[in-house]
């Protein structure tokens, strides 16, 4: 059974700082890994999707990496802004299409 862990559970940084969020998973037989953002009381916003054959994906200030062999992914946020404050979830998708989510990292970027 796939287990997904996100560390840290919460993170508070000053504006402008670069930061890394971590996601680890126990079963490396995955189709893809996806990072989402969720604002309080809202749905999911997809940030980056990394296929199992890829090592990283970039979008603007975001960069996500994937190391299947070690069961790890990182989400790097450059030059953080207060608007980046949200909960970040990683989801690992199995071959059958089922996704397993981590518990999330709640990020607060202070002005």
Partner 1 sequence: GAVVSQHPSWVICKSGTSVKIECRSLDFQATTMFWYRQFPKQSLMLMATSNEGSKATYEQGVEKDKFLINHASLTLSTLTVTSAHPEDSSFYICSPFSGGRPNEQFFGPGTRLTVL
Chain residues that interact with partner 1, rule: CB under 8 A:
31-32, 34, 36, 41-44, 46, 49, 51, 89, 91, 93, 95, 97-104
Using the minimum distance from each CB to partner 1, give the nearer residue, 45 or 58.
Answer: 45
Could you count the other beta carbons within 10 Å of the beta carbon of residue 38? 15
State the minimum distance, in angstroms, from the CB of residue 77 to partner 1.
20
Using the minimum distance from each CB to partner 1, give the nearer residue, 68 or 93.
Answer: 93
State the minimum distance, in angstroms, from the CB of residue 32 to partner 1.
5
CA dist 55 and 67 (Å) reads: 7
Using the minimum distance from each CB to partner 1, give the nearer residue, 14 or 88.
Answer: 88
Could you give the dihedral angle defined by the CA atoms of residues 99, 23, 76 and 84, in that order, rounded to the nearest 10 degrees? Answer: 70
Using the minimum distance from each CB to partner 1, give the nearer residue, 34 or 80.
Answer: 34
Query: Which of 14, 22, 19, 36 shows the shortest CA–CA distance to 77?
Result: 19
CA dist 24 and 14 (Å) reads: 25
State the minimum distance, in angstroms, from the CB of residue 30 to partner 1.
10
State the minimum distance, in angstroms, from the CB of residue 16 to partner 1.
28
Joined tokens for residue 108: 């607060």
């Amino acid at each position: 059974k796939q287990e997904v862990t996100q560390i840290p559970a919460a993170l508070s940084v000053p504006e402008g700082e670069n930061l890394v969020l971590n996601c680890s998973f126990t079963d490396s037989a995955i189709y893809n890994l996806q990072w989402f953002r969720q604002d309080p009381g809202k749905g999911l916003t997809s940030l980056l999707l990394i296929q199992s054959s890829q090592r990283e994906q970039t979008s603007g200030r975001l960069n996500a990496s994937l190391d299947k062999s070690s069961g790890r992914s990182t989400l790097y946020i450059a030059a953080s802004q207060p608007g980046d404050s949200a909960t970040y979830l990683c989801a690992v998708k199995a071959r059958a299409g089922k996704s397993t989510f981590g518990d999330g990292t709640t990020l607060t970027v202070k002005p």
